[in-house]
């Protein structure tokens, strides 16, 4: 009997998404924890729980999660707002839209000056972090203390007050951190143990195929986060196929059920 929603199991039929054999797959067993989870979602969706205003209708790249992720990988308290025109912005929505221009910014603590850069999101979620890193390293302007050469035996940067250092954000481009130095800073963050916790909380995102995680640099801490998701899905007897994206920017857990179920699994993982 064919499935009506892709959720109701048939114990005599293998999972149509991941299993090629004719044996009964564990992800559709009547007694499995996964089936009980899927059945609960089938009930909610059947009653209209998957509508436009439903909490199950969760978009892919949540603005809040991605904001926290970029804060973790840059070490800066950035926020993301939607660019309206060359001067004005408005709060970004719940999710980041593809191919839309946003203003990534932060307020300096003493002068209150806003510094930041425009970032146009890519066509797909899988390129989101790579696109952001490219914009950050090529557009963000922050003074590089090493470019303030010594004058009369003293370092100009060290002699500056905190307020003058913030004013230096407006100095000539030759005094700004280079693209290479900004990229090295981001890479160094991926090599710190703290990034593992950040990835577990904000690095995963739900997609149509399942769950993805950014692995721009596949350090041990990135692999640890991947292993944790693998163990979580295995503990729920979720049938999953794993793979890298074509450019290896994202590691995919292909579950192939529905976006709502993928979002619920991710929510349980992050609890």
Nearest partner of 265 among 194, 209, 196, 215, judged by Cα: 209
Q: Are residues 200 and 245 in the same domain?
A: yes
Least confident of 54-58, 89-93, 112-116: 54-58
Least confident of 64-78, 152-166, 237-251: 152-166
The residue from 133, 164, 190 where one domain ends is 190
Q: Are residues 249 and 264 in the same domain?
A: yes
H/E segment holding residue 116 = strand 114-120
Retrieve residue 127's tokens. Answer: 């390129």
Q: Are residues 181 and 100 in the same domain?
A: yes
Its pTM stands at 0.76
Q: Are residues 49 and 33 in the same domain?
A: yes
Nearest partner of 230 among 260, 265, 257, 192, judged by Cα: 265
Q: Are residues 67 and 183 in the same domain?
A: yes
Query: How many Å apart are CA 115 and CA 106, to the nearest integer?
Result: 6
Q: Are residues 185 and 231 in the same domain?
A: no
Counting beta carbons within 10 angstroms of the beta carbon of residue 121, is it exposed (0 to 12), middle (13 to 18) or buried (19 or more)?
Answer: buried
Residue 4 has pLDDT above 70, yes or no: no
Would residue 50 count as lying in a domain?
yes
Largest CA distance in the chain: 86
Determine the pLDDT at residue 85: 94
Which structural domain, as residue segments, surrounds residue 132?
Answer: 63-142+177-190
54 Rama class: left (phi>0) / alpha (psi -120 to 50) / beta: beta
Q: Are residues 186 and 70 in the same domain?
A: yes
Residue 194 has pLDDT above 50, yes or no: yes
Would residue 158 count as lying in a domain?
no
Would residue 169 count as lying in a domain?
no
Q: Are residues 111 and 224 in the same domain?
A: no
Would residue 156 count as lying in a domain?
no
**Total domains, the chain:** 2
Q: Are residues 111 and 182 in the same domain?
A: yes
């Amino acid at each position: 009997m064919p499935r009506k929603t892709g959720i109701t199991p048939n114990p005599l039929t293998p999972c149509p998404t991941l299993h090629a054999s004719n044996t009964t797959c564990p992800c559709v067993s009547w007694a499995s924890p996964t089936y009980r989870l899927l059945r609960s979602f089938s009930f909610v969706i059947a009653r209209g729980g998957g509508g436009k205003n439903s909490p199950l209708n969760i978009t892919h790249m949540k603005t809040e999660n991605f904001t926290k992720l970029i804060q973790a990988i840059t070490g800066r308290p950035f926020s993301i707002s939607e660019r309206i025109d060359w001067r004005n912005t408005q709060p970004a929505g719940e999710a980041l839209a593809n191919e839309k221009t946003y203003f990534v910014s932060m307020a300096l603590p003493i002068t209150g000056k806003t510094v930041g850069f425009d970032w146009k999101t890519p066509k797909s979620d899988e390129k989101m972090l790579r696109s952001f890193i490219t914009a950050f390293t090529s557009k963000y302007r922050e003074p590089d203390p090493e470019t303030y050469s010594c004058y009369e035996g003293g370092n100009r940067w060290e002699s500056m007050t905190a307020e003058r250092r913030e004013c230096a954000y407006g100095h000539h481009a030759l005094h700004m951190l280079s693209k290479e130095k900004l990229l090295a800073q981001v890479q160094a963050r991926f090599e710190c143990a703290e990034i593992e916790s950040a990835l577990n909380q904000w690095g995963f995102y739900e997609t149509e195929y399942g769950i993805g995680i950014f692995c721009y640099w596949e350090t041990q801490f990135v692999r640890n986060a991947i292993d944790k998701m693998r163990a979580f899905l295995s503990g729920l007897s979720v049938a999953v196929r794993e793979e890298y994206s074509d450019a290896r920017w994202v590691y995919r857990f292909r579950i192939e059920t529905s976006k709502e179920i993928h979002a619920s699994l991710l929510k349980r993982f992050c609890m």
